[in-house]
Structure 1
């Protein structure tokens, strides 16, 4: 949009041109203007003092300028005071405001009111009560007035407090238009600025000079630095800076989180400081900055000190994962949302998540009376075959289904299911070809062992945004991560999506890959992305995501998982333990044992795998000796495999009949194999 000619009118002054430009470029704030016009007109219930407050860059000064123009049009004398330009003392304020005592029904407009914090009591109790009847006063500052204003029954009738919020999407777009921003860039500019007028103007100005149609617009360092300098300013100490960095990264910040990330610092004092910042809001689960400030703080820290950024991120992540593992489900699910948030801070991941402008949604377990509606929804979106499969799983695993509803109305937006498959019976084979495909793929790669299961993210049906990013789809991501981090004995996870090419970068980022041997996506009508949790366990999985957080979209093909480990079947594990016992005295024999490629041995000592294998099996043997009932088995086993004697010689030394000796030996070997298998499936060797 071309700008109008701003040259001064002949015979005028620059102030006239500036006033015209301000009126022309001012957008939004309809409610605030209506209140001010009502105050100008007077009448019953009209306020005599208005306090406008909000963070830097939110448009307080622009609103005061518009108030001045409105008052001038109404024929009122306007007296303006900018606290940044005069000494913050009663005498200086009295001198600057002297005209309000002599003019007829003047309007007093005071900007940067936060600078008068120390003399607020004087203004409320000494200055304002002396004003002549008919004076209208507007204070604008970053901080709200002290609670004593509202506590006074007199002030509660004549004072109005207006927290100035971000512009809405339509108002933000109108502001960009007044700045001449290219409409093709509006979506990116609006997503960055999140309704903050200063951020919108800075972004529009920079975009006008650096516009490249072939490059997706992102905020430059200049924009981020100017915004943070204006809104955040100087900080009291390095500890306060670190607390603000945590607040800019986490979904919600609490004293508990600060205590975990900043040990040795006064978490209570830092949290109290965060709460009083004008650009920080208090919510149900902690404090959080305005969106544009949050994003600017996080991107600035990531750019300024990548290593410290990763250290902070890992500490926050470990704190959240611990809550996911140990907290009750409702709190753990909230922690999962916070975890999903911090691993989605990379700019390239934003395209896979819902927009801030969408209305919120929440998840709840499906109820029996939801079943018909879920089947009907599947039929309308994916057809009769999908509806039949949904009905089947609602009958077999109703607890697997989660529905998503709109916060404001409770309207059903969609649903998903997390299926747990530990065996594939004939009914499942006939009912759901997608689950059959997933089962066959993971079985061909590394079959499930006794007690393990396959977790399948299935359906994810949302009529309005089917398999497209949305706030309700964010709930799908959170539920999947919750199940991955919380589930016990989940050997494989598999995510099914009809849009594999779109979701593949995110699936690769989450370490889920197309399994070898899967049919082509075009033949299936969907894509499968799988992860073997016995090969890459939770902690390594999370560390891998941390490593990729700063590296951009994954570059390696999603069908080539990089792991040198394999999950043995029970029979393979038992045979490997037996071979290890037989070759106990031969290091070269142990060097080829299949257990060396298992995660259990690597986790015990990755640098010395043969020694680690010896130690793992040695601990299993020691358990025999520790139990009085099996101590004789320990003697049989150690004398058989840890000495060069024959079995007949060992039986004679133990003064046992050979048949008794062989029976004890078999029991001892079985016990060791059972313990090694138990530790492998549990993922750890007890201390």
Structure 2
């Protein structure tokens, strides 16, 4: 194409995106008001919504408008920035230095651990006249939304599906015939990504088969059909294979393609990089979440044998990479390998690839020892801390610390003890139990050793799934996969039953002895790697993941503090805080009439689905949690009398409680607010609600 007239491909891209962009008028109005500095306009906007909802497209629109207004634009992407204060500051430095700059932060969920630091330290440094937009999947922490300092300068914008009118305009902009609109709109529900895929298929069908447009779609899994049809006209079999590899691997580099596809890797990687549904990070390429999963689902449906062959080749490559990786790369290499087992329900429930950026792993330095001991004493008591002191003096290199990406503070720790003799048996009851089990079953032979995952401590998520716990498990598995002459590995957990099913599923079986340290009993799990070495063990676990016939066992609900985990993915509703508060109030009122059917969005919220007990059960847990708070007994009585004991009127409830009506109303209002706060916190962090 000639550029003599000043045109360019970039200009064409911008123009095409401008023509295709529809809707989001309210969000654009808020941004324009901030850009113009209108009185009352909020200079900081927080945009949040699920994947595929159009956040990145809206940010591109904001960038275009800001540049059109002559403002310098600074763009930061959470997929490529280091999730540390230093990394973020380096990427966004121009926003602080340039007067009138517009800072646009995309995919913030990948560095969500920086949120407190962002509000407290970075955003306040922006000069007056600057505008900032933060976009991510998670809603902001309610602490900042409710902070009076931010009240007038922060506006939160939850992003929803397009309205029917905007969705129709979207289809027209893509050239979809009117006759196909009704079917496609019913089919996609206004989700922008699904609309884009469906529109591409409809236009392609119309070009290939001229005639009246019906919008007919296949009757099996919608997206699993749309994606391969969208990318179906591939240049060669090798291009198709490269695309399938990219969909199945966690991240695809040119080196990975070279290992699996030999000489054409550079060409194929360049082709992948140019595809519109592909995203990139510093480590390589990956497709959009929806595209990734549907490409894999289509391959598995269309060519089961080819899917198994791809899995085994990629798995072997990643295993070899892990074995050869330098020590500093153990965690990412292990995470990439374990990602291939994510279809095994046990793996998905106890490993969280998305949240690991909230913390980062480092060796334990001498200066860190005091903090490690403090964490262990907080979580497990002084006796356990004394045992940790013993091991720090002898194997400090076995300890790891996990620092908050937000503050840099050490928030968790773990140890991977490597033992070749009976050392520690007289000082550590857990190690003594491990040695006793090994000696009673299959003692170590010359040159062999045993290893023990010890002191898995994160007081904020103590021995429950969380960022540090995930990294601790990855490090343990990585050490096992890389070890030479490892006879036994042991894992010790608090003896509350939570991990029994998960560890037994992965052949870490409980021993006969439950060691006691201080006031706490622990459960010791063991695996003899000589009886079932790593390679055949991984092969067996691969067969489980590939078969799709073994479902995860339910968690032991009878154990205090545990709840069953959902066994199938559920589409969750995303509520703003005002919507969430209103739903809580409606749900509490509905408790007065349990026989009356109610449709409450909380039924599809994260806090209810993750707890698995239904909305009424979750409300009861939150109400009971009031008893643990100072003054909570007054709020608890007001709520239970009003809603659970169904007083006919609020006046009657006040009379039952023997309180003046104004005092009763104050207690009830405070109680409802606290229950909503409790549920909102669990909605955001995904932690299960426990009963007092």
State TM-score, norm by structure 1: 0.51
Hey, what's the Cα distance between the residues in 2 that align with 1:499 and 1:412?
25
Deviations 1:276-323 (A, max 9, x none): 223322222211223333233333333443332222122112112222
Q: Residue 374 of structure 2 aligns with which residue?
A: 376
Asked if the contact 1:323/1:332 (under 8 Å) is kept, the reply is no
**Residues 61 and 480 (structure 1 numbering): CA distance in 2 closer, same or farther, change over 3 Å?**
closer
1:398 correspondence with 2:403: no
Q: Residue 539 of structure 1 aligns with which residue?
A: 535
Deviation at 1:524, TM superposition (A): 7.5
Q: Mean Cα displacement is larger for which, 455-464 or 244-253?
A: 244-253
Q: Residue 175 of structure 1 aligns with which residue?
A: 160
Q: Residue 236 of structure 1 aligns with which residue?
A: 235
Hey, what's the Cα distance between the residues in 1 that align with 2:534 and 2:57?
51
Asked if the contact 1:354/1:473 (under 8 Å) is kept, the reply is no
Aligned length: 405
1:59 correspondence with 2:57: no
1:335 correspondence with 2:333: yes
1:437 correspondence with 2:433: yes
Q: Residue 562 of structure 2 aligns with which residue?
A: none
Deviations 1:485-528 (A, max 9, x none): 1122211111112267433343244332224x344999972322
Hey, what's the Cα distance between the residues in 1 that align with 2:258 and 2:540?
25
**Residues 332 and 383 (structure 1 numbering): CA distance in 2 closer, same or farther, change over 3 Å?**
closer
Hey, what's the Cα distance between the residues in 1 that align with 2:413 and 2:377?
13
Asked if the contact 1:176/1:200 (under 8 Å) is kept, the reply is no
Deviations 1:231-252 (A, max 9, x none): 7564433322221221122121
Unaligned runs of 5+ in 2: 1-20, 39-49, 70-100, 108-134, 140-155, 165-187, 198-218, 556-692
Asked if the contact 2:351/2:465 (under 8 Å) is kept, the reply is yes
**Residues 286 and 235 (structure 1 numbering): CA distance in 2 closer, same or farther, change over 3 Å?**
same
Q: Residue 487 of structure 2 aligns with which residue?
A: 491
Hey, what's the Cα distance between the residues in 1 that align with 2:463 and 2:223?
33
Asked if the contact 2:53/2:193 (under 8 Å) is kept, the reply is yes
Deviation at 1:41, TM superposition (A): 10
**Residues 318 and 375 (structure 1 numbering): CA distance in 2 closer, same or farther, change over 3 Å?**
same
Deviation at 1:416, TM superposition (A): 0.6
Asked if the contact 2:402/2:411 (under 8 Å) is kept, the reply is yes
Deviations 1:428-483 (A, max 9, x none): 23321111112211221111112211100111101111111122222112111111
Asked if the contact 1:402/1:415 (under 8 Å) is kept, the reply is yes
**Residues 497 and 315 (structure 1 numbering): CA distance in 2 closer, same or farther, change over 3 Å?**
same
Q: Residue 361 of structure 1 aligns with which residue?
A: 359
Q: Mean Cα displacement is larger for which, 223-232 or 527-536?
A: 223-232
Hey, what's the Cα distance between the residues in 2 that align with 1:239 and 1:464?
48
Asked if the contact 2:359/2:467 (under 8 Å) is kept, the reply is yes
Asked if the contact 1:379/1:387 (under 8 Å) is kept, the reply is yes
**Residues 57 and 494 (structure 1 numbering): CA distance in 2 closer, same or farther, change over 3 Å?**
closer
**Residues 242 and 201 (structure 1 numbering): CA distance in 2 closer, same or farther, change over 3 Å?**
closer
Deviation at 1:348, TM superposition (A): 5.0
Asked if the contact 1:248/1:298 (under 8 Å) is kept, the reply is yes
2:299 to 294, 298, 301: 301
Q: Secondary structure at the match of 1:477?
A: helix
Unaligned runs of 5+ in 1: 1-21, 43-54, 68-106, 109-132, 135-158, 180-192, 203-219, 559-687
Asked if the contact 1:346/1:549 (under 8 Å) is kept, the reply is yes
Q: Secondary structure at the match of 2:252?
A: coil
2:508 to 512, 532, 547: 512
Q: Secondary structure at the match of 2:499?
A: helix
CA RMSD in angstroms, aligned pairs only: 4.8
Higher relative contact order (CA 8 A, sep 6+): 2
Hey, what's the Cα distance between the residues in 1 that align with 2:225 and 2:136?
20
Q: Residue 674 of structure 1 aligns with which residue?
A: none
Deviations 1:380-439 (A, max 9, x none): 1111121111111111211110111123432212011001122224xx233211111122
| Structural mapping, 1:141-540, within 5 Å | 168-170=137-139, 175=160, 198=193, 222-225=221-224, 228=227, 234-263=233-262, 266-354=264-352, 356=354, 359-425=357-423, 428-498=424-494, 501-515=497-511, 517-519=512-514, 525-540=521-536
Deviation at 1:175, TM superposition (A): 2.6
Asked if the contact 1:56/1:231 (under 8 Å) is kept, the reply is no
Asked if the contact 1:521/1:527 (under 8 Å) is kept, the reply is no
Hey, what's the Cα distance between the residues in 2 that align with 1:355 and 1:56?
15
Larger Cα Rg: Structure 1 or Structure 2? 1
**Residues 305 and 487 (structure 1 numbering): CA distance in 2 closer, same or farther, change over 3 Å?**
same
Deviations 1:345-379 (A, max 9, x none): 43553211237367532211100111111111111
Hey, what's the Cα distance between the residues in 2 that align with 1:257 and 1:177?
38
Deviations 1:259-281 (A, max 9, x none): 22234x61111111121223322
Q: Residue 73 of structure 1 aligns with which residue?
A: none
Deviation at 1:224, TM superposition (A): 3.0
Deviation at 1:196, TM superposition (A): 7.5
Asked if the contact 1:509/1:548 (under 8 Å) is kept, the reply is no
Hey, what's the Cα distance between the residues in 1 that align with 2:220 and 2:157?
22
